[in-house]
Copies of this chain bind each other. A is one copy, B any other.
Amino acid sequence: MKKLIVGQSGGPTSVINASLAGVYYEAKKKGFKVYGMLNGIEGLLQEQIIDLDEYFEDKNNLELLKRTPSSFLGTCRFKLGSIKEHEETYEKVFDILDKHAIDSFIYIGGNDSMDTVESLSDYAKDNKKKQNFIGVPKTIDNDLPITDHCPGFGSACKYIATTLREIIQDNNCYGNTKPTIAIVEIMGRHAGWLTSAASLAKDESSMGVDAIYLPEIPFNIDTFVEETKELLKKKSSIVIALSEGIKTEDDQFICELTDSNLLVDSFGHKELAGCADILSKILKEKLNVKTRAITLSTLQRAAAHLASKTDLDEAYHCGMKGADLAAKNESGKMVYMKRISNNPYKIKYEVFDDIHKIANIEKKIPLEWIDVDNNYVKEELVDYLKPLIQGEVKQIYKDGIPQHINLKK
């Protein structure tokens, strides 16, 4: 019996486990014995390997898995590095894979994880190893190139749009009696995709947000204050969506403008926090109005109770496609989605085989989709986003709360 091992890497999403479920389901169908590595490549290096049949031969558990946010197997931010400089680590990985007679390796992750997949595949080819390596994309940030969009993104958009609509309702309750500004900070280090989903809050039932500030467009605090002052002339309840990654013309993050706690994560990314807080304080001072900073934080990537059915199904299918490629002994390839049409919405699952190319590219919003003059997004971007949040996932409730599945202790 052929053996497949699957791992998850990078930041969690609401549907990364749906991809795991898809891998498991399809791999079993293709005759694989399926293992999971705990905490990605980091756990694999410590031989932390589990038999997934113990959990998912029970189909009810597979349904729970699809609805469980964050990485069931655990994740890591371990960077394998180049083969040249880290040959020993590569050898160790393959020793473990050989020891457990693994044939196929599927990694569900973002940019960095795809780099890992390609490097392992390269090493296998150069060293005549039998294993093949497949990447299944995920990221709430939607910044992976090639794929039309990423599993995980649609559910985060649905959460952001729904939550913003509720924040707008809340903020609006004082009517014209008391000007109130809510500034909502949304994730997205360099790309504004997630923040742009704020545009989806608007329709005939909701007035939507009043401004959207994206990291793709340089941010100026004085202009921001002036623009907000103008908004206040027209209405007294203002809700502004902005990206954690907004920065000035000189490329300085707004959240770095105070001596806030700057930290660097293990990939050298700066830890961002607090631009809503900073701007909220500035507006309060300059415009003398009630302001409130709201940071959606990890809720936007973990709110499985609001998962998009479209997104969850796509995540599942990407996983299935990954297992299918593994069965065909493809290697160094990533599953991706190609949009065939918008209305009706239709995508195709495709295969990309030059992953190194994409590993370090961050896909940003095309500038022509941004309405710079009005601090908003253009209709094209709304049309792109809208299909991704369609459909609701029936949750499995017990005692009033959605159920999840977790590793046995």
Chain A residues in the interface with B (C-beta under 8 A)? 12, 38-39, 42-43, 64, 68-71, 74-76, 158, 161-163, 165-167, 169-177, 182, 200-201, 203, 205-207, 261, 281, 284, 292, 294-295, 297-299, 301-306, 308, 386, 389-392, 395, 397-406
Say whether A70 contacts B172, CB under 8 Å: yes
Say whether A386 contacts B402, CB under 8 Å: no
Chain B residues within 8 Å of A201, by CB: 401
A318 to chain B: closest CB distance in Å?
A: 19
Q: How far is the CA of A258 from the CA of B169 in the complex (A)?
A: 32
- Our pick among B302, B386, B395, B400 for the contact of A167 (Cβ within 8 Å) is B302
Q: How far is the CA of A179 from the CA of B275 in the complex (A)?
A: 26
A-side interface mostly: mixed
Which of A12, A174, A292, A303 has the largest number of chain B CB atoms within 10 A?
A174
Chain B residues within 8 Å of A170, by CB: 12, 69-70, 298, 301-302
Say whether A404 contacts B76, CB under 8 Å: no
Say whether B308 contacts A400, CB under 8 Å: yes
Say whether A174 contacts B74, CB under 8 Å: yes
Say whether B306 contacts A173, CB under 8 Å: no
Say whether B69 contacts A169, CB under 8 Å: yes
Say whether B298 contacts A203, CB under 8 Å: no
Say whether A400 contacts B158, CB under 8 Å: yes
Say whether A76 contacts B177, CB under 8 Å: yes
Say whether B70 contacts A203, CB under 8 Å: no
Q: How far is the CA of A403 from the CA of B161 in the complex (A)?
A: 12
Chain B residues within 8 Å of A75, by CB: 173-174
Residue of B nearest to A164 (CB): B401
